[in-house]
A and B are shown apart, each in its own frame.
Chain A
Amino acid sequence: MTERDVDLMEHADGEAEVELGAEGRAKVAAVHELGELVRGRLEAAADDVPEARLARMWADIDKQLAPPPGPRGWFERYRGYVITAAVSAGAVAALALVLRGPAPTTQAGAALATAVHGPSEIEDLDTPNGTSTVFNVADEDGSTTVIWVTSNDSVGSDQ
């Protein structure tokens, strides 16, 4: 019986059981020997590569597979988004400062309760139909200037 080379190779690889003749056993032995030679050559070639070079290769591969760990890595990855967000927030804050306008006052005096107290200076006072008196009304909130006008009519009526 003559074995086909394909059957012999499958037998050599352990993929099929073939009854071997003398020629077949010789070919299988040769395939095994050839395989050993190839594996030995590849292992020798791998041993020739310096360890440091292999380490660099793996490091390069790692960099391509995953981002750098930690906050700095996160920042590096999202730097564009962070800068855009910061610029946008600044612009919005600036616009708010410009557009905020006056604070609404719901009740007279309610929003103006805190005062920087100091005496008023009366620069000019004219009361064409009466006489004026200036009071300084002081309390815990400070002093308040009061200008009181007594009309000539009321003075006349009292007399």
Chain B
Amino acid sequence: MKWLVLALLISSSAFADERAQCSYLEISATNGKSAAMDPELQPLEKKLKKPPFASWNTFHKLSGGPVVLDKLKAETLKLGQGAASLLLRDRTDTRLELTISIDGADGKRVLDNKQSVAAGDWVVWGHNVKDDGHILALVCK
């Protein structure tokens, strides 16, 4: 019986190494008469008050939610302004190797990025849209 439980635990752990549980937030950054921030952005509140985000005082969530990344299987996020592609290339218990591509609302490629990130740490990408900012934040574990 002990061997059976051990085998199940090992297989469960191996299964977990093949995917990542992620959450993303798409944010618009603008300047308004008074500062405002959607409550859903609370996990990033402190960061959004620092450069380069300090140029704006109003932050709204455009989209967001959980996304599961299976290893070497690209996931497309349809954003409120454009789209993003996420790929989990590899992972350990503490780090994840990600590839991300972001396209703007006009369909033009904004960036291609390969990054090794710590599990549980937010990673943020952003770009200017005229005077406003468009931000994508991702955290995976």
Asked if A150 contacts B118 (CB within 8 A), the reply is: no
Contacts of B122 in A (CB 8 A): 109, 115, 144
Asked if A149 contacts B65 (CB within 8 A), the reply is: no
Task: Identify A122's interface contact among B50, B110, B114, CB under 8 A.
Answer: B114
B9 CB–A CB distance under 8 Å: yes
Q: Provided the pairs A112-B139, A135-B52 are in contact, do residues A130 and B121 lie with their beta carbons within 8 angstroms?
A: no
Main secondary structure of the interface of A (DSSP, over half): mixed
A124 CB–B CB distance under 8 Å: yes
A37 CB–B CB distance under 8 Å: no
A80 CB–B CB distance under 8 Å: no
A116 CB–B CB distance under 8 Å: yes
CA distance in complex: A98, B94 (Å): 22
Contacts of B141 in A (CB 8 A): 112
Asked if A121 contacts B52 (CB within 8 A), the reply is: no
Asked if B8 contacts A144 (CB within 8 A), the reply is: no
Q: Provided the pairs A103-B21, A115-B118 are in contact, do residues A125 and B47 lie with their beta carbons within 8 angstroms?
A: no
B40 CB–A CB distance under 8 Å: yes
Asked if B21 contacts A105 (CB within 8 A), the reply is: yes
Query: Which of A109, A147, A150 has its CB near the most chain B CB atoms (within 10 A)?
Result: A109
Q: In chain B, residues 45-102, which have Cβ atoms closer than 8 Å to a Cβ of chain A?
A: 46-47, 50-52, 64-66, 68, 94-95, 97
CA distance in complex: A142, B40 (Å): 20
Asked if B8 contacts A116 (CB within 8 A), the reply is: no
Asked if B1 contacts A90 (CB within 8 A), the reply is: yes
Name the distance in Å between A153's Cβ and chain B's nearest Cβ: 9
Q: In chain B, residues 102-125, which have Cβ atoms closer than 8 Å to a Cβ of chain A?
A: 104, 108-125
Asked if A150 contacts B128 (CB within 8 A), the reply is: yes
Asked if B128 contacts A139 (CB within 8 A), the reply is: no
Name the distance in Å between B72's Cβ and chain A's nearest Cβ: 16
Contacts of A23 in B (CB 8 A): none
Asked if A125 contacts B121 (CB within 8 A), the reply is: no
Contacts of B12 in A (CB 8 A): 97-98
Asked if A144 contacts B123 (CB within 8 A), the reply is: yes
Asked if A149 contacts B8 (CB within 8 A), the reply is: no
A132: nearest chain-B partner, CB-CB: B111
A114: nearest chain-B partner, CB-CB: B120
A146 CB–B CB distance under 8 Å: yes
B65: nearest chain-A partner, CB-CB: A108
Q: In the complex, given contacts A116-B121, A147-B111, what are 16 additional A-B residue pairs having Cβ atoms less than 8 angstroms apart?
A: A109-B44, A112-B21, A116-B119, A116-B120, A117-B120, A118-B118, A125-B111, A127-B110, A127-B111, A135-B52, A143-B121, A144-B123, A146-B47, A146-B52, A146-B126, A149-B127
8 CB contacts below 8 A, A to B, read A87-B1, A121-B116, A123-B114, A124-B112, A127-B110, A145-B115, A146-B47, A154-B128
